[in-house]
Amino acid sequence: MNAIKETNFNLPRQTAFYRGKVRDVYTIADTYLAMVATDRISAFDVVLPRAIPYKGQVLNQIAAKFLKATEDIVPNWVETIPDPNVTIGKMCVPFKVEMVIRGYLAGHAWREYQAGKRVLCGEPLPEGLKENDKLPQPIITPTTKAAVGHDEDISRDAILGQGIVSEADYLQLEQYTKALYARGTEMAAERGLILVDTKYEFGKFGDKIYLIDEIHTPDSSRYFYAADYDALQAAGEPQRQLSKEFVRKWLIDNGFQGKDGQSVPEMDDDLVRSISERYIELYEHIVGEPFERAEDQSHLLQRVEKNIHQALAQLGD
């Protein structure tokens, strides 16, 4: 049951540190980011009390696979992956929008549609759609990147009008987003999956745009099983999802949705073990390869720190 809940390294040439919900991010010489995918798990904007063994490795290695498979479309931030839980890459200046793209009416988009909206982030939606229906064509529904609180939907016109992103850069982001989603859709289909919706983040290093963060993971994307899709839609039944939705369902069933006054239910060892196994199943289904558990699980922090040190020594200044 060993897992990485947090790291507190003192790395060579370290100039900053940031702890997100899942990742611990070390800035190196104001040039590189050493990003540790911990085993923390969040839901409803709350970090849960128990870390999940191998979860960080699962997310880091899925992202690594898809970043490698899309580098012919757009360059990405990755320099090296020295440890199953670590990616080191260029310190890009991120754009202050996330590029969300949707091929199906699911999740947030469906909730907005159900509430009567027929325009989402400036994109018109046809009448008569049901939850999880395929859209006539994929739509881009950007969100702001909030420093505090929740991200908010925003339209292309608002992004350009407020000068959040220049027109030339935004047109490039749209082109990259559509091409990445098309590639992700193809790769999902090879695994018997549908890539329902996903998000991409981009940044600049110098004057060049790079794809940053993770892509096509169960934490950043929604997948359906292709074999059941048509029958379930015809019957008006919920789609089978490949995501961390099962964790949210357990929390809801135990009286927690992140609302004021609610307490996170106790997570016992059996539950933690079952979530870990589920993440490994997600990996094997999405990637199509057996998951190889990282060695030195009993000395996790020492392994991770040692591998980062060695990688930084090779990168130099």
Residue type, 314: Q
DSSP string, 157-206: HHHHHTTSS-HHHHHHHHHHHHHHHHHHHHHHHHTTEEEEEEEEEEEEET
Residues 230 and 183 reside in one and the same domain:
yes
Predicted local confidence at residue 243, as pLDDT: 81
Q: How many CB atoms lie within 10 A of CB 32?
A: 22
Q: CATH number, domain at 32?
A: 3.30.200.20
Mean pLDDT (whole number) for 140-166: 88
Q: Is 114 left (phi over 0), alpha (psi -120 to 50) or beta?
A: alpha
Burial class (CB in 10 A: 0-12, 13-18, 19+), 157: exposed
* Structure-model confidence comparison of residues 93 and 219, the more confident one: 93
Evaluate if residue 150 carries a pLDDT over 70. no
pLDDT band (50, 70, 90) for residue 149: low
pLDDT band (50, 70, 90) for residue 148: low
Q: CATH number, domain at 187?
A: 3.30.470.20
Residues 66 and 138 reside in one and the same domain:
no
- CA distances to 98, 162, 212 from 165, in Å: 11, 8, 16
Residues 152 and 211 reside in one and the same domain:
yes
Residue the block writes with tokens 């040190």: 309
Residues with Cβ within 8 Å of 138's Cβ and at least 6 positions away in sequence, in order, are: 101, 102, 103, 178, 181
Evaluate if residue 86 carries a pLDDT over 70. yes
Kindly give the interhelix angle for 167-190 and 55-69, rounded to the nearest 10 degrees: 110
Residues 100 and 88 reside in one and the same domain:
no
pLDDT tens for 100-116 read: 999 999 988 999 999 99
Among 207, 242, 277, the domain-final residue is 242
How many domains is the chain partitioned into structurally? 2
Whole domain around residue 256: which residue ranges? Answer: 14-93+251-315
Would 3 be classed as within a structural domain?
no
Answer positive or negative: Cα dihedral of 297, 298, 301, 304.
Answer: negative
Q: For residue 139, what is the enclosing H or E element?
A: strand 134-140
Predicted local confidence at residue 1, as pLDDT: 73
Q: For residue 16, what is the enclosing H or E element?
A: strand 14-19
Q: How far apart are CA 146 and CA 164, in angstroms?
A: 13
Residues 100 and 238 reside in one and the same domain:
yes
Evaluate if residue 298 carries a pLDDT over 80. no
Residues 206 and 288 reside in one and the same domain:
no
Residues 89 and 99 reside in one and the same domain:
no
pLDDT tens for 24-34 read: 999 999 999 99
Residues 208 and 255 reside in one and the same domain:
no
Among 242, 260, 275, the domain-final residue is 242
Query: CA nearest 44: which of 229, 241, 209, 262?
Result: 262
Would 151 be classed as within a structural domain?
yes
List, in sequence order, every residue forming a beta bridge with 193; answer none if it has no partner. Answer: 225
Residue 76 three-state SS: strand
Predicted local confidence at residue 43, as pLDDT: 87
Would 7 be classed as within a structural domain?
no
Average pLDDT along the chain: 94
Among 192, 211, 242, the domain-final residue is 242
Answer positive or negative: Cα dihedral of 302, 305, 307, 310.
Answer: negative
Q: How far apart are CA 300 and CA 296, in angstroms?
A: 6
Maximal C-alpha separation, the chain: 59
Mean pLDDT (whole number) for 275-301: 90
Residues 56 and 26 reside in one and the same domain:
yes
Would 9 be classed as within a structural domain?
no
The distance from CA 317 to its chain's CA centroid, rounded to whole angstroms, is 29
Residues 231 and 122 reside in one and the same domain:
yes
- CA distances to 40, 57, 239, 290 from 100, in Å: 24, 24, 20, 29
Euclidean distance between the first and the last CA atom of the chain, given in angstroms as a whole number: 37
pLDDT tens for 236-268 read: 999 988 888 789 889 999 999 888 899 999 999
Predicted local confidence at residue 308, as pLDDT: 97
Would 37 be classed as within a structural domain?
yes
Query: CA nearest 316: which of 36, 79, 93, 23?
Result: 79
Q: How far apart are CA 277 and CA 53, in angstroms?
A: 9
